[in-house]
Amino acid sequence: MPNSLIIVESPAKVKTISKFLGKNYTIDATMGHLIDMPKSSLGVDIEHGYEPKYITIRGKGELLSKLKKEAKKADRIYLATDPDREGEAISWHLLNELLKDQGNQSKISRISFNEITKNAVRKALENPRGIDMGLVNAQQARRVMDRLVGYTISPLLWRKIKKGLSAGRVQSVALKMICDRESEIAIFVPEEYWTLDVKLRHGKSVLKASFYGRDMDKKMPLNKESDVEAVLESVGDADFRVMEVHRSERKKRAPLPFTTSTMQQEASRRLSFSTQKTMRIAQSLYEGVQIKGYGSIGLITYLRTDSTRIADEADAAARKYIADNYGEAYAAPGLQTEKDTKGAKIQDAHEAIRPTNLSITPQVAKESLGRDEYRLYRLIYERFLASRMQPALYDTLNAKLSAGDFYFSLSGSKMKFDGFLSVYKMDETEDTDGGFRSLPDLETGMMLRRDEFIKEQHFTQPPAHYTEASLVKALEEGGIGRPSTYAPTISTLLTRHYVIREKKNLYVTELGNAVNDMMSKSFPSIIDTAFTANMESQLDSVAEGKAEWKSIIGDFYPGLSKAVEKANQEVEKIRIQDEETDILCDKCGKRMVIKYGPHGKFLACPGFPECRNTKPFIEYAGFSCPECGAECVRKRSKKGRIFYSCSRYPDCAYMAWSKPRKNEENEESKENENKENEHASVDNG
C-alpha cells in the first residue's frame, strides 16, 4: 500500500483523523499559517504591482523542514487545511514550498471536507482537486489591503494620539458604528406617551383590552395624561360592545440553521458567551472530541459560514429522525432550503452549522463534554433539528370593542400545535400557551362588563447600546466583514481599549472616540459602511474568478496614500486625558491615574518617566466578604472571566464567580477547589 501524508492545520484534527485511517496514512499539522508577510515591514511592493513579499513565519522554520522531510518519504501528499480562503492560502503556500523538491511534482493534491467524520474524510480522499486560486487571490487581496491600511494609518495614530494603537478596515467601521450609536443615545430626548387598558368581565374570565382610538382603522396616540383623562371622561360608565371579531390561524416558522453570526448572537443571548469564546468552543467541537461509544469525532460541521444551506442527505436524515422520535406530523416536508432574505452576498461553499451525527444527542455527548462545550453543542443540535420541523400553529383572535365615542382592541392566541417549539424556543420566556388557556367565545354585539381602567405613563427609550451579539448582527446586515472576522474584530476593539464591555453592553472610551474622530475626518472612505461592504463584494468577485485582485488594490491604494500624507501634515496631536484617582503616589505624592495594560487596568504615576511607580488597580465590589467581613474586590482571570474575592487574600481565600446560574453547583464546586491556583494566575496590574 502506498504511504500517504495528510497535512491539516491543527493538532486536534490530527488526533481525530488518525482514528479514521490506517497505518499507511501519516497525519501532521501546519499549526496555522507557515508563510506570511514580515511583521517588521510593509511587505508589499507598491512599485511593482502590489506584489506581496512572503517569508517563513519566525519559529515555523523547523516545522516546515519537518513537513518537507515527511513529504519526501510519502507516495501521496494531501493538503487538507480548512475549507475557506485562509485554509486555501495555507495550502497554496505549502504547495509552493513542497514543489521546490522536484520529486513532489506529481504527488500533491488538495482535499477539503466540511465535517471531520470518517465518511467525509474518506470521500474527500476519493475526490482530490487542485488549489482554488480564486480563493487564494481573495485571501491575498484582503491580506494586502488590510496590511496597507494597518501599516500606513497605525503609525499616524501613534504619532497623533498615542503608541500601540491600530486601525483596520473592518475594525474601524465597527468602532464608528459603536461611536455613532453612543452619539444617538447621548442626544436622545425622551418623549412622553401614555397607554390605557381596561379589564373586562366575560363570564368568569377577565379580559384585557387596549385603547385604540376614534376610528377602527387608525390607532390614536395618547401623548399626555390629559389625553387619557379626556377618553375616560368620554367613555364614562358606557358598556363595552363587541363590534367585530376576527379569528384566524397564525404560523410561527421554524428558525434557519445557524450561520457563524447567528450562532454567535444566540450563544451571547442564551449562554452569555463572548464571540471569541463561542468560536473557540465551536472550533473544538468541529475538530474532534472523544465521545464514549463513538471514539474521536467532529461533532459539528465547519464553523465559518454565512450559508443556511443543508446537504440533501443531512436534510433527509434529520426529517427521518424527527419522524421517528417526534412523529410524522413534526417533520417538515421536502428539503428546507432558504434563500438569503436580505440580499447580502452569501458564500455558499459550506453548509450551515449542524451536528454531524444526529444519533449523538446532547444527552449522549454530555458526559464526554465540558460544561460549555455541552451547552453550545446542545444549542447547535436543537437549532438544526428545529430548522427541519413544521411551524408552530396558533389560533388567534382579534376583536374591536366600542365604548362611548372610542374603540378598544383585544387580541390573543392559543397554541394548537407546538411544531418546532417542542425542540427549540426562539425566546426563553416564550409562552407556549400563546396568551390564553382558551380563546374567549366573543361574538359581534356581545356586551362586556367593565372591571377597571389601567392608565400608565411611559417615555420613549433611546437606542440600545451595542452588545457583541447586536454588533455582529449589524455588521452582517451591512455586508461588513465575513464570518471569520467578527470575533477578532470585537476582540481587537476590546484589547486596544477603544471600547469596554459592561454587562454585555459595549461602551466607547475616550481613546476610542479620539481614534474614531481622526478616522472620520482623515479617512472617511475607510470607515464608510457602503464602501467597506462594496469592497467585500469585490473580494467575493475575486474568489469567483471574476475580478483581478491587484486591480482592486491598485484602485484603492492611491487614495489611501494621499489621505495619509494629508493627515500627517494637517492633523494636530490629540492629547488623551488619563482618568485621575484619589490615590496618591507613594514616591512623589501626585494623584495616580488609570492606565490600561495587556491584563486590564492598573494605576500609574502621571510623573512618568521621572517617577515610574505603578500599583494594581483595585475595584471594590460593593459588598462584604461573607467569611471575614472585609470588602470584596472585582477581578478578572487570565481567561477574561470576572470573579469576586476578599481584599484580604491570601489571608482570606473567599472567592465567587460573577453571575452564578442555575445548575452551576457542580461547576462552582470544582472552580472553588482550584481557587488558590486561580488567585495565583490573576495579574492585578
575 by DSSP, 3-state: which?
A: coil
Q: Are residues 166 and 127 in the same domain?
A: no
Task: Using CB atoms within 10 Å of the CB of residue 555, give its burial: 0 to 12 exposed, 13 to 18 middle, 19+ buried.
Answer: exposed
User: What is the CB neighbour count within 10 angstroms for residue 666?
Assistant: 9
Side chain identity, residue 250: R
**pLDDT tens readout for residues 53-108:** 999 999 999 999 999 999 999 999 999 999 999 999 999 999 999 999 988 989 99
Q: 66 CB contacts (<8 Å, ≥6 apart)? A: 28
What pLDDT sits at residue 345?
A: 45
Residue 681 has pLDDT above 80, yes or no: no
Q: Are residues 9 and 118 in the same domain?
A: yes
**pLDDT tens readout for residues 325-359:** 999 999 998 654 444 434 444 444 579 999 999 99
pTM of the model: 0.81
Q: Are residues 169 and 207 in the same domain?
A: no
Give CA–CA dist 2/79, Å, rounded.
Answer: 17
CB–CB of 609/588 below 8 Å? no
User: What is the CB neighbour count within 10 angstroms for residue 286?
Assistant: 25
Domain at 93, CATH number: 3.40.50.140
Q: Are residues 98 and 179 in the same domain?
A: no
Q: Are residues 403 and 486 in the same domain?
A: no
Catalytic (active-site) positions = 302
**pLDDT tens readout for residues 118-158:** 999 999 999 999 999 999 999 999 999 999 999 999 999 99
With cell 430548522, the residue in question is 387
Q: Are residues 71 and 96 in the same domain?
A: yes
676 by DSSP, 3-state: which?
A: helix
User: What is the CB neighbour count within 10 angstroms for residue 159?
Assistant: 12
Rounded (5°) CA angle 422-423-426: 95
Q: Are residues 156 and 127 in the same domain?
A: no
Q: Are residues 422 and 475 in the same domain?
A: no
**pLDDT tens readout for residues 21-45:** 988 999 999 999 999 999 999 999 9
Give CA–CA dist 577/575, Å, rounded.
Answer: 6
Q: Are residues 14 and 100 in the same domain?
A: yes
With cell 451579539, the residue in question is 469
Number of domains in the chain: 5
Domain at 350, CATH number: 1.10.290.10
Residue 304 has pLDDT above 60, yes or no: yes
Out of 355, 387, 419, pick the residue that ends a domain.
387
Out of 387, 408, 432, pick the residue that ends a domain.
387
189 by DSSP, 3-state: which?
A: coil
Q: Are residues 56 and 91 in the same domain?
A: yes
Query: What domain range is 318 assigned to?
Result: 260-387
Q: Are residues 419 and 480 in the same domain?
A: no
443 by DSSP, 3-state: which?
A: coil
Percent of the chain with pLDDT over 90: 68
Q: Are residues 147 and 107 in the same domain?
A: no
Domain at 504, CATH number: 1.10.460.10
Out of 526, 541, 570, pick the residue that ends a domain.
570
